Amino acid sequence: MNPSSEITVVLPAALHARPAGAVVRAAAGFEASVEVRHDGRTASARSALRLMSLGAGAGSTVVVAAAGVDADDAAAAVAAVLREAS
């Protein structure tokens, strides 16, 4: 079992309220702590406000990092939401 996981995602749309909320819902289903990193800043995937404060726009590259028992699944679920953001 891998205790941590990182996935790089290019956002199809800006990380605004709707996709940030979807990320929070996705992260809530896992024990792992999940963070989204952009341009030298980090936000918990459990805080929509912090995610929006990253200022990640359409075409931005973000890194999803997770640590914990189910890190691989948590990172994959958050990354999937980000890839489909609109």
Q: What are 44-86's pLDDT values in tens digits?
A: 999 999 999 999 999 999 999 999 999 999 999 999 999 997 6
Which residue ranges make up each domain of the chain? 4-83
Q: How many residues make up the chain in this entry?
A: 86
Instruction: Count how many Cα atoms sit within 13 Å of the Cα of residue 37 in the half-sphere of its side chain.
Output: 9
Cα–Cα distance, 36 to 34 (Å, whole number): 7
4-83 belongs to CATH 3.30.1340.10: yes
The residues assigned a catalytic role are 16
pLDDT digit string (tens) for 9-50?
Answer: 999 999 999 999 999 999 999 999 999 999 999 999 999 999
* DSSP string over 37-73: EETTEEEETT-HHHHHHT---TT-EEEEEEESTTHHH
Contact 31, 68 (CB under 8 A): yes
Confidence of residue 1 (pLDDT cuts 50, 70, 90): very low
Q: Give mean pLDDT, residues 1-8.
A: 80
